[in-house]
């Protein structure tokens, strides 16, 4: 009869422990990577959503002279003018009191509005807007955590200056 050594008894247990520790290490590393991805996504959610929101506004209201960069009570704002059943309306999109806001009102009623009149859209520390040229707007959004996103949006309907697609 052959006697079994202690090493042959311990070896399967050690192999199992090495395998278990390796699997646990991979799971822990994966969890850390996943948490970092979620954290980055949460940090940029508000600014990326604001970019998508303004992009849609530009695309839906892109008519000659209807989109401008203007000031609304001292704040940078996107101004959208439109007629609904021959009644002129204006939309101001601006940042105030920690929020990106949208104010949609009849043009003649604009004088009765204050900074707080706009509907809160997203938490936003600041919003900077400027026209780089007649048909190119530069928008910069800064969230409450200091993260920022910038975009350039083209206004295609500029009175025949641009190419027709």
Q: Is 125 within the bounds of a domain?
A: yes
Cα angle 53, 113, 145 (rounded to 5 degrees) comes to 45
The mean predicted confidence, pLDDT, of the chain is 85
By residue count, the chain amounts to: 165
* Structural domains of the chain, count: 1
pLDDT band at 158 (very low <50, low <70, confident <90, very high): low
Nearest CA-CA partner of 80 in 68, 70, 71, 72: 68
**Contact in structure between 76 and 94 (CB atoms under 8 Å):** yes
Q: What is the pLDDT of residues 23-58, one digit of tens each?
A: 999 999 999 999 988 887 777 777 888 889 898 998
Which residues lie closer than 8 Å to 135 by C-beta, 6 or more apart?
154, 155, 156, 158, 161, 162
pLDDT band at 165 (very low <50, low <70, confident <90, very high): very low
What is the reported pLDDT for 120? 92
Q: Is 22 within the bounds of a domain?
A: no
Expressed as residue numbers, the domain containing 149 is 39-154
DSSP, collapsed to helix, strand or coil, labels residue 148 as strand
User: Measured in Å, how far apart are the chain's first and last C-alpha atoms?
Assistant: 90
Question: Hey, what are 72's tokens?
Answer: 């609304």
What is the reported pLDDT for 96? 92
**Contact in structure between 147 and 47 (CB atoms under 8 Å):** yes
What is the reported pLDDT for 4? 65
What is the reported pLDDT for 1? 55
Q: What's the rounded Cα separation, in Å, for the pair 156 and 160?
A: 9
Q: Is 19 within the bounds of a domain?
A: no
Q: What is the pLDDT of residues 125-155, one digit of tens each?
A: 889 999 888 888 999 998 887 788 889 998 8
Average pLDDT (57-83) is 88
């Amino acid at each position: 009869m052959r006697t079994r050594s202690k090493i042959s008894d311990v070896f399967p247990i050690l192999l199992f422990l090495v395998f278990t520790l390796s699997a646990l290490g991979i799971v822990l590393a994966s969890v850390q990577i996943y948490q970092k991805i979620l954290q980055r996504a949460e940090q940029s959610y508000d600014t990326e959503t604001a970019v998508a929101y303004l992009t849609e506004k530009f695309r839906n209201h892109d008519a000659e002279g209807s989109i401008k960069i203007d000031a609304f009570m001292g704040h940078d704002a996107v101004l959208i003018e439109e007629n609904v059943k021959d009644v002129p309306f204006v939309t101001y999109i601006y940042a105030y009191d920690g929020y990106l806001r949208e104010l949609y009102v009849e043009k003649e009623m604009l004088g009765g509005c204050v900074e707080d009149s706009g509907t809160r859209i997203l938490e936003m520390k600041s919003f900077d807007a400027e026209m780089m040229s007649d048909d190119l707007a530069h928008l910069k959004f800064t969230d409450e955590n200091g993260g920022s996103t910038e975009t350039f949006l083209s206004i295609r309907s500029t009175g025949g200056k641009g190419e027709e697609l």
